[in-house]
Structure 1
Amino acid sequence: MVRMGLVAEGIGPVLAREQFLDGGSVEAAVRSPILSSWQRCQSLGLSPDGCELPYTQDLDLDGRLVRAAGPVLDRLESMFAGRNMNVSLADEHGAVLQRRFGEPSMVRHLAPIQSVPGFVFAEKFGGTNGIGLALAERRLINIYGAEHFAERSQSNACAAIPVRDLLNGRIEGVLCLGYPYTDADASLDIVIRRAAEAIERRLLGQSSARERALLRAYVDARRRMPADDGQPGELAASGLDWHDQMILKEKATELISSAQRAAVEVPLPGDRRVTLLSRPVTSSSGVEGIAIEAVLASRHQRLTVPTEPHASEARTPHDLIEHRPLAHVVPPPGTAPARGGAPAHGPGVTERPVGGATSGLVLVGEPGVGKYAVAARRRLELLSEASTRIGTTLDVSRTARELAEMAVPGLADFVTIDLPEAVLRGDEPTDPCKDLHRTVVHGIRDDYPFYPVGERIDLRPITPQLRCLTSGHTVLEPDLRTASGWIAQDPVAAQRLLALDVHSLIAVPLLARGIALGIASFYRSRDPAPFGDDDRSLAQELTTRAAICIDNARRYTREHAMVLALQRSLLPQGFPEQNAVEVAHRYMPAESGVGGDWFDVIPLSSTRVALVVGDVVGHGLHAAATMGRLRTAARNFAELDLPPDEVLTHLDNLVGRLDREEGGDDPSACSAGIIGATCLYVIYDPTSQQCTMARAGHPPPALVLPDGTVTFPDLPAGPPLGLGGLPFETAEFDLPEGSQLVLYTDGLIEDRHRDFDTALEQLRRALAHPNRPPEDTCRAVLRTVVPDHPADDIALLVARTHTLDAHRIATWDLPADPALVSSLRAAVTRRLTEWGLEEIGFATELLLSELVTNAIRYGTGPIQVRLLYDRTLTCEVSDASSTAPHLRHAATTDEGGRGLFLVAQLSQSWGTRYTADGKVIWAECALEVPGGKPDAVEAAFDFDDIPAI
């Protein structure tokens, strides 16, 4: 014998049961179905020593279940002969109908509840036991020893399995094997499964026999008909192909389920029509059913049909199957014609058919069987529709709602879906039983007392929802009035729901790739019939499909959040302080994914500023990472003080190189590169109010003058970055102070639901407001121009220009004469005194002396000196030479080479900027000297080894 794992531990289950009864936690030691049953027993107020079983005499001891199971029970009794095996058959309520014993003498040693039919073993009476738990779990279960709740059953083990009607899926009863738990054997599961299947086949055979009797009654009635009463024939011989016959059989199934006399005209492909006649038929044994005939006739036949028998008609079986093949239905006065498959009701008159009509049997069956067939077809249709309606988006909450909308009203009247907060964020839940939030409530009405959307749900262990989540199996509660766990969750709300006729529940775990993502609960109220196993299978199939879509949406949400976080980290977190422009910006990711839009504000030398907007075509991690690389490269190229067209040329070369590196030797891999990146680069100079810009395939900016005039400058387009070999061109504009530069990406104006010119006009109207702060401009553009559902990222940068006051600019033109350096120093000192910058005068004199001397010695005239007083003091020395100085370490014996070292130490930053006429050497000095005194500069350096100028 093979003992089950928990039994092999000997006293283990006993200790676990005692610990549970003492209020301890035993989740790790007890199987989930057993623990759930114990918890339900406790909630019902049962005690292990007080599980009294009721006895009922209201038993159908000769019903269809007993007749079907009789031979199978005989076989089991013979199989277990001589063994301590108790075989029992119970009905759908848990009442035992029959008992068989492998050893007949067992009867003398067993209590009446174990040997006499009639005792009810439902879980609410007997606690955890085989029959009761099989009805509760609706599947094969095993219980060993102390897993039973009642004290009297501690030495026993059992295996129990539901027996179903294969036509409707309903549980007709339970087959149970009882034995000492020391005799546990895994092979018993195979035996009881096969025995249950045999009983189910015999139940189906009973239904088949009833249908065969109906068919014989139909054939007998057909033979008694007059020979000229139409021309009976087979459907296949009437020219109807398999597709036509399938349409007729589907409609015939509906007519059988309606159990009414009717004549229905069914349209077929090719503008053909066939009339289906629905007639009652009764077999010789009294089984009542419906026969459906198809009648085909010529176009000129005009016939009527009685849909209800006249009162004078004798209702014998043959009279009920009276045959009148008809080709067309003419409704009696006062009734509407039957169109589109709607049956005509009411009394009518039958005329003799004109010759040429043919008819044939389509289906014969009982109304109940027809209802099951219709329900099965509708379930298939619902599943087919679900494949197209669930998962239309990659939004977790929307996908969950699509599941609810799909199930109502086809399966349930109300659906609630609870998901952990982690799933809504896109993360994988660590403990799906905790932190559940009501995500969806959907039903035929809105005034039912379910927890509202957004509320946190704390489920008790005995609730069907938590049981399904912990076990991973669907839980069906056919009658909520007896579902103690569901009622205990919220007794007030439960009573209100029961008062509103909510009577049946299916709780299904949302499982995808082995991960529990939440719970879907299906409730029924309008249909008085409780949920059955077919409904449970349908709910499970719908939920499984939805769970995969929810998991895909969850993964997308997580990746989208990661890419968005990466992109936001690569975008500017703040802009450096500068006075050239006042800026405001917005970034909006696309609904379907994160793209590669970016922007930047880069302070340049001599109080100038660069404004950059770019767009990497595509979405996802690759686009975001590429955006970061291009933004970093653009900042580095800007540090070289290059004009806009040269910056774009360097970016173009970089993108081409990255494409080649990512593509490798495989030409087809080039599609994974970043061809399609665009960029707009703008430099604004507040000293001259001049704006220079160039673009690489990017939309031109909008210029808003102080009076509110909006223009889109005719800027040379230039090719997108990465094509290579094509030049970029610049354009220059003079901007009055207070003008606004509006830079944006194409997601702002390109939308498939809106014309491009319309979008530009909307942008123009949004910008046409004089003297408006950039922040207000951003808000206005987002409010009036941005599409409702952006398909692409949107980057928006608004800069209002300022001008450096002319009184803060000082310029001197010098001839190439070293003797004039001292006079320049004096002039600089006077200007610094006027500006109140006496404290940095000494350092500035040293710095300018070095720069001017180098220009005179190594440069070419004319030479110009300019001071710019802004946030820093910028010193510029320009000449007509294109040679640039280089910082180096001077040897001890060198007479020169230390001047630029001095410049670097006295300034915050310095560099060279090339112009069309030569170059500019610039250096920026802080407005405060470290230490607050000029002699601090002297103390910072050793001047002994520096030769005089």
Structure 2
Amino acid sequence: MERRAVDDQESSPRPDGAGGALTARATVDEHGIVTGWNAGAERLLGYSAAQILGRAAASLLAEDPGAGDLPPLPPFSELPELPRWNGTLALRHLDGHRVEARVLAHHRTPGRTGDGVPDGTTHGTPDQAPDGATDEAPDGEVCGWVLVSAVPGPASARTDDDALVRRGFLDSPCCSTSVYDTDLRFRRSTQSGRGVLGMSDDDLRGLRLTDVLDDPVAEKVERAMRRVLETGETQYLENRALAPGEGRDHAWSVHLYRLADPDGRVLGVATTGHDMTEQYWARKRLQLIAGAGTRIGSTLDVTRTAQELANVAVPDLADFVSVDLLASLDDAPEQPPGPLAVGDSLELRRIAHESVFPDVPEAVVALGEVDTYPEGSPPAESLRTGRAVLHRVTEEAIADWVAEDPRRSARIREFGFHSAMTVPLSARGTTLGVVAFARHRHPDPFEQDDLVLAEELAARAAVCIDNALRYTRERATAVTLQRSLLPQGLPEQAAVEAASRYLPAGARAGVGGDWFDVIPLSGARVALVVGDVVGHGIHASATMGRLRTAVRTLADIDLPPDELLTHLDDLVGRLATEAEGALGVPPDRARPRARGRSAAEGESRGDVGATCLYAVYDPVSRRCCLARAGHPPPAVVSPDGTVELLDLPAGPPLGLGGLPFESLDIELPEGSLLALYTDGLIESRDSDLDEGTSRLRRALAAPAASLDALCDSVLAAVLPRRPTDDVALLIARTRALDADRVAAWDVPPEPSAVSEVRKNALRRLTDWGLSDAAFVTELVVSELVTNAIRHATPPIQLRLIHDRTLICEVSDASSTAPHMRRARTYDEGGRGLLLVAQLTQRWGTRPTPTGKTIWAEQSVEPEL
């Protein structure tokens, strides 16, 4: 190994001129051979580098390692993994006297750098090591141990230790330490401590902390001091206060510990405080960002999301916050991407604000109000540049702006605003609005770190607000579609008086597929329908529209309720199969959706399912026939106010297929109420079905001025504050047709009976004052009765019903329905039904339990 030049001086000379000689350094390889020696080692033991290099380090020991009271020195070759060792060694000086030295040994391994061996240490060569041993690693790096020991200096240096320690303690600029006696009275403090308290030691001596600092923090610290004196346990506090010697609040990390002499006598207590203001604010900012992630965007409501942003920022970041969106968002569906091109002025709508004071007295603009901001104002500047801006209120840009607005100028003077930040709300490249942060109560102005935090909060809120705006637009489209598919008004008919309500679900659930309908039927009857498509969104609304159209089509052919639901069940099954096919599900694995699967799953799989309640009421007989498919049973309120739920066979939900539906036929007294509803009215996450049903019964039993008022009171009493599902409600009050407005005759199955039947019908028209309808009625009666006699099976009956229209019905025992056709030139028949269709308002046929009924309806006006 090449010998290096000997340099006796350390890189930094000592004041006493000894330089590097005050530190003894030696290197020893893994075999215990000395491979390096400096001037300090020579001064400590008297050996020169030439005398010691290549010798065994153990030869320098005055006695065996571990002998007497000295700790053992580990063999260098046995503990190569030990990173460091320290202890006292008895060494032998060149002149033979014993030297006890404190030694610190560092273990060097290949690949380590900066091992502490300074320049000036002389190293031995490989031929100086026995048996060719070397302290080089295979890659040429030195390995082994570095031993260091302090060389004793002049005796005068040790006498200055006390003064040095005292000055180092008292003049500490960064650690605020104060000492108190057992009465908690001040005795001495460091330079930093005196600066915090703003007084000298002489002025503070004899005072307690509560005498100097008028703050609850002082009382808290003194209580901790007493605990320290009583228990001897070190206490730790974190506090924030405005000290007399400071111009702003500081956060402190304080340790309190008891002071005692060597005999254990308690002398007092000391406090050591470290200024952690920057760490405190950094932690507060991180907590604010973490809280914003959970508190902002809890709903898809634009206004609430903006208010959540304001609530998060006050009071931790600002004393006043306002959130304004572009007024153009009210009309335009979406803003173009990029920063806003601001012209002469900018219109913003205030949607949220918050303050450290109740009722937000600083606000110049009320919630929902639109205000105009001139070009060059901070909000307009932020939106024009797309960047956050930090201002002092005294800056020229703000001063010129508020000078033109007396209201803002007065509020700034009244509350003492001193700094503000404006941050644009931008998401997905689109500018939405601006957030303003202001301080007036907080003494410190905003800094750059505060601006970064404000930008982070605004960015998080902007994404949530943009999501809410997009959802609001989509939901408005879905609600518009949903309402367009529902009845725009209930049709006029005499069988019932009806009122209805439809409430879409809240923002989380989305628009669903609930619907209701009132369908006039032949014979003055009426059909009442309520249904519920499983799922939410456009898909559910579209499915609802298809099912409502199907129900009206099936009702038009006068199917009984149970048969109608059977046909509807087949339709839902086909729709489900189509949906499965559109998603690539093989036909043999396609299955209709049972009720109860989540809406989100239904939307993703395209499943179709629904429930339905269908009822037909006849005002002539006052009978109501009902059937349901997995739907809640209807409620009936009798004229005396008694409420009951009809024990109607439930039936499976639509779409399962293969299971029959059963109907129930009951008689309803005139003036009864029939309430049909969807499950969203009585079921919720906060209450069970029985509780919702009980509330519904109580609400229906309460008196109401009208059916509309009853609908409102039912919704108010039964629904939770935030419904989670759509609600459809249909309430109908039954009417009965007077017996004198209905006439019926049995018709013998003989052609000669037609003449007598015509006469009977004309006499009844005269009694009703409908002589103007005699000609058409006579022709209709002749045609329908003649066809029944010729082609149908007895018994045959003619019935006239005088309602809002005049209805002529002919019933027989045959199930074969007639078909209208166009007769050729030389045909002798085939023109009768065509004439009936031309002369009446509408006509048709419906099945009955014993056959069929052919009917024709014509509009009439009573004679004056």
Q: Where on the TM-score scale, by shorter chain, does this alignment land: which range?
A: 0.5 to 0.7
1:111-131 deviation line (CA, Å, top 9, x unaligned): xxxxxxxxxxxxxxxxxxxxx
Secondary structure at 1:796's aligned position in 2? strand
Separation of aligned partners in 2, 1:539 and 1:307: 48
Separation of aligned partners in 1, 2:663 and 2:192: 101
Q: Which residue of 2 aligns with 1:289?
A: 174
Q: Which residue of 2 aligns with 1:413?
A: 319
Separation of aligned partners in 1, 2:192 and 2:553: 100
Call closer, same or farther: CA 1:305–1:687 in 2, change over 3 Å: farther
> Shift of the alpha carbon at 1:479?
4.0
Q: Which residue of 2 aligns with 1:661?
A: 578
1:821 to 2:748 alignment: no
Conservation of the 8 A alpha-carbon contact between 1:828 and 1:845: yes
Secondary structure at 2:752's aligned position in 1? helix
Separation of aligned partners in 2, 1:666 and 1:466: 54
Conservation of the 8 A alpha-carbon contact between 1:432 and 1:516: no
Call closer, same or farther: CA 1:907–1:659 in 2, change over 3 Å: same
Call closer, same or farther: CA 1:609–1:335 in 2, change over 3 Å: farther
> Shift of the alpha carbon at 1:427?
3.2
Conservation of the 8 A alpha-carbon contact between 1:390 and 1:549: yes
Secondary structure at 2:518's aligned position in 1? strand
Q: Which amino acid aligns with 2:175?
A: I
> Shift of the alpha carbon at 1:432?
8.6
Separation of aligned partners in 2, 1:340 and 1:516: 46
Separation of aligned partners in 1, 2:190 and 2:182: 15
Separation of aligned partners in 2, 1:517 and 1:887: 64
1:476 to 2:390 alignment: yes
1:390 to 283, 296, 310: 296
Q: Which amino acid aligns with 2:427?
A: A
Separation of aligned partners in 2, 1:810 and 1:546: 72
Summarize the alignment of residues 127-142 of structure 1 with structure 2, pairs less than 5 Å apart.
Answer: none
TM-score by length of 1: 0.62
1:924 to 2:857 alignment: yes
Call closer, same or farther: CA 1:905–1:335 in 2, change over 3 Å: farther
Separation of aligned partners in 2, 1:350 and 1:762: 72
Which deviates further from its counterpart, 341-350 or 562-571?
341-350
Q: Which residue of 2 aligns with 1:520?
A: 435
> Shift of the alpha carbon at 1:315?
6.4
Separation of aligned partners in 2, 1:314 and 1:490: 52
Q: Which residue of 2 aligns with 1:461?
A: 375
1:651 to 2:580 alignment: no
Return the index of the structure with the highest Cα Rg. 2
1:840 to 2:773 alignment: yes
Which deviates further from its counterpart, 428-437 or 892-901?
428-437
> Shift of the alpha carbon at 1:776?
2.7
1:498 to 2:413 alignment: yes
Q: Which amino acid aligns with 1:788?
A: R
Q: Which residue of 2 aligns with 1:350?
A: 259
> Shift of the alpha carbon at 1:312?
5.8
2:498 to 579, 583, 587: 583
Separation of aligned partners in 2, 1:354 and 1:881: 123
Secondary structure at 2:821's aligned position in 1? coil
1:859-904 deviation line (CA, Å, top 9, x unaligned): 0001000000011111100110111111111111211111111111
Separation of aligned partners in 2, 1:762 and 1:336: 62
Summarize the alignment of residues 535-934 of structure 1 with structure 2, pairs less than 5 Å apart.
Answer: 535-592=450-507, 593-664=510-581, 665-666=584-585, 671=602, 672-769=605-702, 773-927=706-860
Call closer, same or farther: CA 1:859–1:481 in 2, change over 3 Å: same
Q: Which amino acid aligns with 1:375?
A: W
Conservation of the 8 A alpha-carbon contact between 2:637 and 2:701: yes
Call closer, same or farther: CA 1:859–1:905 in 2, change over 3 Å: same
Conservation of the 8 A alpha-carbon contact between 1:578 and 1:871: yes
Separation of aligned partners in 1, 2:190 and 2:677: 87
Conservation of the 8 A alpha-carbon contact between 1:305 and 1:348: no
Q: Which residue of 2 aligns with 1:153?
A: none
Separation of aligned partners in 2, 1:449 and 1:408: 14
2:280 to 357, 374, 377: 374
Conservation of the 8 A alpha-carbon contact between 2:622 and 2:670: yes
Separation of aligned partners in 1, 2:231 and 2:624: 86
1:752-772 deviation line (CA, Å, top 9, x unaligned): 112322221111111114686
Q: Which residue of 2 aligns with 1:147?
A: none
1:162-186 deviation line (CA, Å, top 9, x unaligned): xxxxxxxxxxxxxxxxxxxxxxxxx
Q: Calculate the aligned-residue CA RMSD, in Å.
A: 3.5
Separation of aligned partners in 2, 1:826 and 1:390: 80
Secondary structure at 1:811's aligned position in 2? strand
Conservation of the 8 A alpha-carbon contact between 2:324 and 2:434: yes
Conservation of the 8 A alpha-carbon contact between 1:332 and 1:347: no
Q: Which amino acid aligns with 1:290?
A: C
> Shift of the alpha carbon at 1:443?
1.1
Secondary structure at 1:660's aligned position in 2? helix
Consecutive unaligned residues in structure 2, runs of 5 or more: 1-103, 105-164, 197-223, 240-251, 265-271, 592-601
1:311 to 2:226 alignment: no
1:620-657 deviation line (CA, Å, top 9, x unaligned): 11111111111111101100100001111111111110
Call closer, same or farther: CA 1:345–1:717 in 2, change over 3 Å: closer
> Shift of the alpha carbon at 1:440?
1.4
Q: Which residue of 1 aligns with 2:227?
A: 330
Which deviates further from its counterpart, 373-382 or 799-808?
373-382
1:61-118 deviation line (CA, Å, top 9, x unaligned): xxxxxxxxxxxxxxxxxxxxxxxxxxxxxxxxxxxxxxxxxxxxxxxxxxxxxxxxxx
Q: Which amino acid aligns with 1:605?
A: S
Q: Which amino acid aligns with 1:442?
A: E
Conservation of the 8 A alpha-carbon contact between 1:288 and 1:366: no
Secondary structure at 1:848's aligned position in 2? helix
TM-score by length of 2: 0.68
1:181-218 deviation line (CA, Å, top 9, x unaligned): xxxxxxxxxxxxxxxxxxxxxxxxxxxxxxxxxxxxxx
Separation of aligned partners in 2, 1:523 and 1:315: 37
Conservation of the 8 A alpha-carbon contact between 1:652 and 1:721: yes
Call closer, same or farther: CA 1:859–1:478 in 2, change over 3 Å: same
> Shift of the alpha carbon at 1:311?
3.2
Instruction: Say how many residue pairs are matched.
Output: 625
1:731-772 deviation line (CA, Å, top 9, x unaligned): 011000000100011111001112322221111111114686
Q: Which residue of 2 aligns with 1:440?
A: 352
Call closer, same or farther: CA 1:285–1:481 in 2, change over 3 Å: farther
> Shift of the alpha carbon at 1:783?
2.2
1:706-740 deviation line (CA, Å, top 9, x unaligned): 11111101000001111111111000110000001
What percentage of residue pairs aligned between the two structures are identical?
Answer: 52
Separation of aligned partners in 1, 2:815 and 2:189: 119
Call closer, same or farther: CA 1:769–1:455 in 2, change over 3 Å: closer
Call closer, same or farther: CA 1:788–1:336 in 2, change over 3 Å: farther
Separation of aligned partners in 2, 1:411 and 1:597: 46
Summarize the alignment of residues 78-93 of structure 1 with structure 2, pairs less than 5 Å apart.
Answer: none
> Shift of the alpha carbon at 1:283?
7.1
Conservation of the 8 A alpha-carbon contact between 1:449 and 1:497: no
Conservation of the 8 A alpha-carbon contact between 2:634 and 2:646: yes
> Shift of the alpha carbon at 1:394?
0.3
Conservation of the 8 A alpha-carbon contact between 2:254 and 2:274: no
Separation of aligned partners in 2, 1:771 and 1:449: 44
Q: Which has the higher strand share?
A: 2
